[in-house]
Amino acid sequence: MDECGPRDEERLARAALTRIVEPGDEAAGRWLRTYGPQEVLAALKSDGPPLPGVGEERWAGLRSRVQRARPEADLAAIEAVGGRFLCPGDREWPGQLDALGVTRPIGVFVRGAPYLRFWALRSVAIVGARACTEYGVHVAAVLSAGLAERGWTVVSGAAYGIDGAAHRGALAAGGATIGVLACGVDVAYPPGHGELIRRIGEQGLLIAELPPHDHPSRSRFVMRNRVIAALTRGTVVVEAALRSGSLSTARHARRLGRLVMGVPGPVTSGLSAGVNELLREEGCVITDAAEVIELVGNIGELAPVRRGPSLPRDVLPGETALVLDALPGRGAADAAQVAEAVGITPDAAVVRLKELCALGFVEHTGSRWKLSRAGLP
């Protein structure tokens, strides 16, 4: 527990509310901002009228969940797996989550040794389709490994497909990765990723808004995405169909003023349609880790300029290059023909042709000149 953070009473109240209130509940967020967690919990336990912003039916639904709130047991459960419960105000709390306003998490359960706030400072989200292609898996893994090797934390949702490839790429590079779950951090979901989630918890960090043992639902996956977007400097979508849930992470990132990036895919692939549409709007095209870092990193962290292979003829001076271009691809020409084609005197053409001959670009046969093998395009 952070000695300079929230009091024990506030921590217990927040832990209790994670059992009562669903992640991202705006009404509850306004209550927390106005009254504080202890007062909100006390109101839910009382027989008094609803707090502002909800009707009797909704209030009754929330109050029906009060009996299942056992904060002491949940805090003991997270400590038993080597984790902790972070609240706003804790030193380890990542301040970028505060950008979510009234949908800010009540608190987050964390599993893993690293310090969340530090790891989140230089982090990038990599998300995409669950039913992805081999191309998507390869790109996500290579991109994540490149970011991890450069000291960046890769954040994703531990789901099948692109998420899993992103985590594996970072782990393979010996780098940092954070899995943001839509269930308790002691729950392996999806079940097929049990080993991967265990590795993330041992080598990286697992975080969740839901208390231990809690299971995911469709709405919790959607709300989980806002945490991924807020926690990171930018979101990269690798592969996504037009209705992919991963695009909601990009939309959250855009609303928060974070960078939105995408890896372009084939126009014939439905799994790239969502990303390509994202890039038509406001997304930035990226193809490797260096380009991501140039966008989200500090001043001076520039990606190398991409160029095609350099050729010997690229270094020729202007007039000399024009003389070389004036020679026919087949056969030979005399200096006068070359001079006329370039627009220079025959004497000047002879000088340039002799330079090209010395460099191995042309051959001299009698009074005529022709391209050598090195001079051919």
For range 32-47, the mean pLDDT: 95
Task: Note whether 226 and 115 are within 8 A (CB).
Answer: no
134: pLDDT confidence band, cut at 50, 70 and 90? Answer: very high
Tokens standing for 41? 């919990």
42: pLDDT confidence band, cut at 50, 70 and 90? Answer: very high
307: pLDDT confidence band, cut at 50, 70 and 90? Answer: low
227 pLDDT more than 90: yes
pLDDT of residue 356: 85
Task: Tell me the CA distances in angstroms from 2 to 6, 7, 11, 87, one per residue in order.
Answer: 8, 9, 11, 10
For range 38-64, the mean pLDDT: 93
Q: Are strands 259-262 and 284-285 parallel, antiparallel or unpaired?
A: parallel
For range 121-145, the mean pLDDT: 95
Distance CA 201, CA 186 (A): 9
Mark residue 360 as left, alpha or beta (left: phi above 0; alpha: psi -120 to 50; beta: remaining). Answer: left
Distance CA 175, CA 192 (A): 23
Residue 106 amino acid letter: I
The closest alpha carbon to 322, from 306, 340, 303, belongs to: 340
- Strand arrangement of the beta sheet that strand 368-371 belongs to: 333-334, 368-371, 362-365
DSSP 8-state class, residue 283: P
Distance CA 185, CA 272 (A): 31
208: pLDDT confidence band, cut at 50, 70 and 90? Answer: very high
Tokens standing for 83? 């984790």
145 pLDDT more than 90: yes
SS3 content of the chain, % helix, strand, coil (to 5): 50, 10, 40
Tokens standing for 34? 């106005």
pLDDT of residue 281: 83
305: pLDDT confidence band, cut at 50, 70 and 90? Answer: low
Sequence-separated contacts (24+) of 113-116 with Cβ below 8 Å = 113/82, 114/176, 114/204, 114/205, 116/86, 116/92, 116/178, 116/205, 116/207
321: pLDDT confidence band, cut at 50, 70 and 90? Answer: confident
374: pLDDT confidence band, cut at 50, 70 and 90? Answer: low
Dihedral sign from CA coordinates of 62, 67, 68, 71 = positive
Average pLDDT taken over every residue of the chain: 90
Tokens 């389709």 sit on residue: 129
* Report field, pTM of the whole predicted structure over 0.85: no
For range 296-317, the mean pLDDT: 65
Distance CA 141, CA 170 (A): 7
- For 1-5, 182-186, 248-252, 351-355, which range has the lowest pLDDT when averaged over its residues? 1-5
Q: Quick one: how far is CA 203 from the chain centroid?
A: 19
3 pLDDT more than 80: no
- For 65-79, 254-268, 294-308, 356-370, which range has the lowest pLDDT when averaged over its residues? 294-308
344 pLDDT more than 60: yes
Cβ neighbourhood burial of 224 (10 Å; 0-12, 13-18, 19+)? buried
Percent of the chain with pLDDT over 90: 70
298 pLDDT more than 80: no
168 pLDDT more than 80: yes
Residue 55: which residues within 8 A CB-CB, separation 6 or more?
A: none
Distance CA 128, CA 245 (A): 8
Tokens 């109050």 sit on residue: 63
Helix-helix angle 218-231:246-255, to 10 degrees: 40
248: pLDDT confidence band, cut at 50, 70 and 90? Answer: very high
310 pLDDT more than 90: no
